[in-house]
Amino acid sequence: MIFDLIAKRRSIFPVQYNDKPISKETLEKIVEAANWAPTHKKTEPWRFKVLTGKKKDEMGAFLSQKYQAVDPKPKQVTIKKLEDNAVRSAAAIAICMQRDPMESLPEWEEIAAVSMAVQNMWLCCTELGIGCYWASPGLIKFMGEFFDLNEGEKCLGFLYMGYYDGEVESSSRTPIAEKVEWLD
Ordered by start, the domain boundaries in the chain are 2-178
Sheet of 153-163: strands edge to edge?
Answer: 46-51, 91-98, 153-163, 130-135
pLDDT digits (tens, 9 = 90+) for 74-110: 999 999 999 999 999 999 999 999 999 999 999 999 9
Q: How many CB atoms lie within 10 A of CB 139?
A: 20
- Res. 119: pLDDT tops 90: yes
Interatomic CA distance for residues 158 and 86, integer angstroms: 10
Q: What three-state secondary structure class fits 66?
A: helix
Q: What is the mean pLDDT of residues 154-159?
A: 98
Q: Any long-range contacts for 168-171 (C-beta under 8 Å, 24+ apart)?
A: 168/8, 168/10, 168/12, 168/131, 169/10, 171/10
Binding-site members for FMN are 9-11, 40, 134-136
CA 129 to chain centroid, in Å, comes to: 16
Torsion, CA 135, CA 136, CA 137, CA 141, rounded to 10: 140
Binding-site members are 9-11, 40, 134-136
pLDDT digits (tens, 9 = 90+) for 165-180: 988 888 889 999 999 9
Interatomic CA distance for residues 31 and 131, integer angstroms: 15
Mean pLDDT of the chain: 96
User: Which class would CATH give 2-178?
Assistant: alpha beta
